[in-house]
């Protein structure tokens, strides 16, 4: 077979073949539409308790199935509680760890690496007295001015 083209034996459809098949489906008889319900009832049991309609056939109700996880495809839980789903760190956005075990801990004020997430570290603790020449506010130098970040 190597090197030879395979011939596809599946039926190919075009609009013209689909149109013809649809016309045949809707316009030609399949033989079951002309029936007599009285003839069918004659063959049924006279015991009316056997004629009970199953409640499931009456009204499609809500499924009582357990939820299926979209992550691991197992039943019994949803994907937000899946134990097979890797954890996501809310601080750095990487998977595989939570915030407490994050290897990328920084000072969120100045961005310097740190041993824990903090809003002030030894690098920026003296910024309370620094006045920014760009925006005129105290609390950060020009290199960390939020106004410059929004203008860029």
Handedness of CA 55, 61, 65, 70 (dihedral sign): positive
The whole-number average pLDDT for the span 143-148 is 83
Chain centre distance of CA 44: 49
The whole-number average pLDDT for the span 43-61 is 78
Judge whether 88 and 79 are in contact, CB under 8 Å. Answer: no
Of the ranges 20-24, 104-108, 140-144, 148-152, which one carries the lowest mean pLDDT score? 148-152
Torsion from C-alpha of 83, 69, 58, 45, nearest 10 degrees: -80
Assess whether pLDDT exceeds 50 at residue 83. yes
Q: How confident is the model at residue 4 (pLDDT cuts 50, 70, 90)?
A: very low
Domain boundaries, the chain: 86-121, 123-152
pLDDT of residue 14: 60
In this predicted model, which residue has the larger pLDDT, 32 or 68?
A: 68
pLDDT of residue 102: 92
pLDDT of residue 97: 92
Instruction: Give 32-47 pLDDT, tens digit per residue.
Output: 777 888 888 888 888 8
Residue 33, token pair as written in the block: 């539409």
Assess whether pLDDT exceeds 60 at residue 87. yes
């Amino acid at each position: 077979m190597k090197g030879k083209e395979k011939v596809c034996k599946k039926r190919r459809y075009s609009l013209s073949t689909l149109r013809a098949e649809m016309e045949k489906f809707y316009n030609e008889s399949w033989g079951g539409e002309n029936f007599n319900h009285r003839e069918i009832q004659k063959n049924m049991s006279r015991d009316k308790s056997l004629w009970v309609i199953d409640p499931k056939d009456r009204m499609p109700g809500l499924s009582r199935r357990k939820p299926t996880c979209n992550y691991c495809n197992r039943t019994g839980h949803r994907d937000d509680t899946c134990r097979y789903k890797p954890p996501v760190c809310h601080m750095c956005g990487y998977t595989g760890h939570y915030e407490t075990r994050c290897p990328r801990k920084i000072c969120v004020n100045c961005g310097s690496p740190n041993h824990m997430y903090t809003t002030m570290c030894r690098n920026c603790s003296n910024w309370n007295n620094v006045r920014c020449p760009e925006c005129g506010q105290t609390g950060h130098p020009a290199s960390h001015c939020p106004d410059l970040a929004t203008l860029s």
